[in-house]
Amino acid sequence: METALSPLFEVISLAVLVLVLVADLVLAYRRPHVPSTRESAIWVSFYVALALVFALLMLLVGGTEHAAQFIAGWVTEYSLSIDNLFVFVIIMARFSVPRKYQQEVLMVGVVIALVLRGIFIVLGAQLIENFSWIFYIFGAFLLFTAVQQATENSSEMEERESGVIRFLRRRIAISKHFDGAKLRTTIDGKRMFTPILIVFIAIGTTDLIFALDSIPAIFGITSDPFIVLTANIFALMGLRQLYFLLGGLIDKLEYLRFGIAFILAFIGVKLVFHALHENELPFLNGGHGFEWAPEISTWTSLAVIIGAMAVATIASLVKLRVDRRKALNSE
């Protein structure tokens, strides 16, 4: 039998998560360094284990449905965070950010992402509560995003970024070189911004775009704001360590974007079906729901999401191995 999550459990959970995030932020700020593969793997494993422990607590406190919704939401948001990470790789490379300071830049990106997603979660919850037809819009938006995800390549993303860079450089005095992780520096007696300002703006813009994608996606799995928020927090935990763990591999996972596109399309279809099933628009079926529209269960969603990511990752690794063999044979 499913039971509602108690307010005390929710408050304690959020307090603990905030403490973990603050500790991670302080650690990154006080110890700027390039994490080793071993260190990154340990931290990523720790955060994944923490999410699974939280899912177990959800199971014990709220029942299987709450736990399944959290896991499905977390896996979905984690998938989108990896996609977000791919763009971070492009930004870091384009601006030649020293690896020593990339931890701090990534933590700023994570904080911006959390703030933006928190705002969109509150807005999304209010919209769903007052306007059930918003699921039509969410569904259509995710279907559009899925097509864009599958067809857009990295060079197009880089071109958009270069346009932003040119705009900023024409209007703001920006130095050519970094001064540690400082935003401002002095060159020939003149105060100027360092390139890290553009990096922060580029990452913030990226976070905004991905928040617009990820929030409708998880609301397609659960409408519980607490589960939506915690799934997003856990998805962003360890993101900077994952960045260093994957390194140059992430942009070689060629089919990953197709897996993410499939997940977005699936959730978009699920949202449209849900909107049709609960239809209240007077000009559609007289304001009554469409009985033929299926309600896709959380467990089905979880299986599809995990399956899509697994297939995309395995296919990418297989292609990477085949390409390496071809390269060796051609030498």
Say which residues have a Cβ less than 8 Å from residue 82's Cβ, sequence separation at least 6.
242, 250, 256, 260
For the segment 165-192, the average pLDDT, to the nearest whole number, is: 71
Query: Cα separation of 323 and 168, whole Å?
Result: 39
For the segment 99-103, the average pLDDT, to the nearest whole number, is: 75
| Statement: residue 89 has pLDDT above 90 | no
Does 25 reside within a domain?
yes
Range from 131-140, 249-258, 274-283, 306-315 that averages highest in pLDDT: 306-315
Query: How confident is the model at residue 266, as a pLDDT?
Result: 86
Strand partners, 193: 174, 184
Number of structural domains in the chain: 1
Does 237 reside within a domain?
yes
Residue-wise pLDDT for 117-169, tens only, equals 888 888 888 877 777 778 788 888 888 888 887 776 555 555 555 565 666 66
Of 68-82, 92-106, 219-233, 266-280, give the lowest mean pLDDT range. 92-106
Does 177 reside within a domain?
no
- DSSP category for residue 247: G
Query: Cα separation of 273 and 289, whole Å?
Result: 10
Residue-wise pLDDT for 53-83, tens only, equals 999 999 998 888 888 999 988 988 888 777 7
Does 114 reside within a domain?
yes
Query: How confident is the model at residue 16, as a pLDDT?
Result: 92
> Would you put residue 238 in left (φ > 0), alpha (ψ -120 to 50) or beta?
left
Q: What is the mean pLDDT of the chain?
A: 79
Does 188 reside within a domain?
no
Query: How confident is the model at residue 295, as a pLDDT?
Result: 79
| Statement: residue 51 has pLDDT above 90 | yes
Of 14-28, 37-51, 153-167, 226-240, give the lowest mean pLDDT range. 153-167
Tell me the two tokens of residue 248.
């140059």
Does 75 reside within a domain?
yes
| Statement: residue 249 has pLDDT above 90 | no
More confident residue, 79 or 178: 79
Residue in the structure block whose two tokens are 């304690």:
12
Query: How confident is the model at residue 49, as a pLDDT?
Result: 93
Residue-wise pLDDT for 193-217, tens only, equals 777 777 877 777 777 777 777 788 8
For the segment 4-13, the average pLDDT, to the nearest whole number, is: 87
Does 262 reside within a domain?
yes
Query: How confident is the model at residue 50, as a pLDDT?
Result: 93
State the pTM of this model: 0.76
Does 190 reside within a domain?
no
Residue 230 belongs to what domain range?
7-90+99-150+212-246+253-330
More confident residue, 58 or 257: 58
